Amino acid sequence: MILLSFLACIPKVPDSDSTKTPTEDDSGPVAGAQLAIATTDYQTGALALWDDGTGQLSDSVLLTSADNAVAAADGKLFVLGRSSENTVRMYGDDLGSPEAEFSTGDATNPQDVVFCGDRVVVALYEANYLTLYSLSGQPAGQVDLSPWDDGDGEPEADDLYLSPEGFLYVSLNRLNASYRAESLGRLLKVDCSSWEVIADWEVSPNASIYPDSRHPGQFLIGGGNYFGEGSAQVELDGWVQSFTTATDTLSEPLLREEDYGANLGFVSSEEDGSRVVISDDGYQWDVSCVATDGTRSQSLGGNLYVSDATFGPDGLLWLAIRPGFGTGSSTEGVVALDPATCHAAEPLVTALPPSSLAWR
């Protein structure tokens, strides 16, 4: 799910054959953090890796399902397969052999993966529980989510966030069979020892968690329906709030769709009160920086679809951008955006369009 934060100009993302470090040190390239990029044309899927130390792109290093996603935790990379029988594969440094591989069950639709205590936790869209596995991939229990069912038997668990305090937070979209939220979303807090839900909060309909690696223990949460029921008109019914895990504090709404005038995707919160806002108004996506006085500076827009957004260790917001569903020219590739300048680098282009991002 799309999830949808601001000194000097951002450097252009190096070409895939670059062998210089960002500091141009003649001692040779130094490996850095890796950006895992799930790519797909919905017929074939593959994994690409970009190294921020060497500036090198390794494209199509691993075949995946056509409906794919990636997640990362504690240096491990998780590749989620959601075509036919659904699977999760966990990799260390060796992509030739997964350290663990397991099925989450046919048509369960895994959305996100984290470590919590000594368990691997998987959020499933088509189940009324979170599923737990050992580090070797053996089934190790469930977290019951049925009390938050929205009437169709599945509360649609979407995003997972592990706090610095060691608790797990889960966003529930709570959609009906038509993938519409007829009730408020939920944010749940799970104890990683008892595996019980110990707190919950009402949030925006169809809410997702917008994490920010620059600010551990804080995230934004928000969303909303896309179209009005039985209508082709955009429905501006969502909002965004901030959450602080140390105090379990949920703020008042920071931004409402009806005030912004578009459906909200990813939203960030900068220390000076400005924001990066990814929004969509009838298949016309927009990535803008919004100053504290409400002034907007567009960075990207038009016939594009932002399928994922995540902050990297460099403090930049990395966007997975696919061709849009409308008409006109389109941007495609992985784009790094500097929140301080609202400047977007040239796209890092993979053989297949990007669908999901994860740093490790």
pTM recorded for the entire structure: 0.90
Domains in the chain: how many in total?
A: 1
* Per-residue tens of pLDDT for the chain, all 360 residues: 444 332 222 233 333 333 333 333 444 445 689 999 999 999 999 999 999 999 999 999 999 999 999 999 999 999 999 987 799 999 999 999 999 999 999 999 999 999 999 999 999 999 999 999 999 999 999 999 999 998 888 999 999 999 999 999 999 999 987 788 889 999 999 999 999 999 999 999 999 999 999 999 999 999 999 876 666 678 999 999 999 999 999 999 999 999 999 999 999 999 999 999 999 988 889 999 999 999 999 999 988 999 999 999 999 999 999 988 877 777 899 999 999 999 999 999 999 999 999 999
Please check whether residue 42 lies inside any domain of the structure: yes
DSSP 248: T
In-domain check, residue 150: yes
Q: Which domain holds residue 117?
A: 34-297
Cα(64)–Cα(66) distance, integer angstroms: 6
Q: Check if the beta carbon of residue 309 is closer than 8 Å to that of residue 2.
A: yes
Is 52 part of any domain? yes
Considering the domain boundaries, does residue 23 fall inside one? no
How many C-beta neighbours within 10 Å does residue 310 have?
A: 21
Tell which residue, 102, 88, 85, has the closest CA to residue 38. Answer: 88
Q: Flag whether 337 is in a domain.
A: no
Tell me whether residue 352 is in a domain: no
Residue 246's nearest CA partner among 180, 189, 329, 186 is: 189
- Residue 324 covered by a domain: no
- List residues bridging with 210 in a β-sheet: 220
CATH number, residue 208: 2.130.10.10
The verdict on residue 346 lying in a domain is no
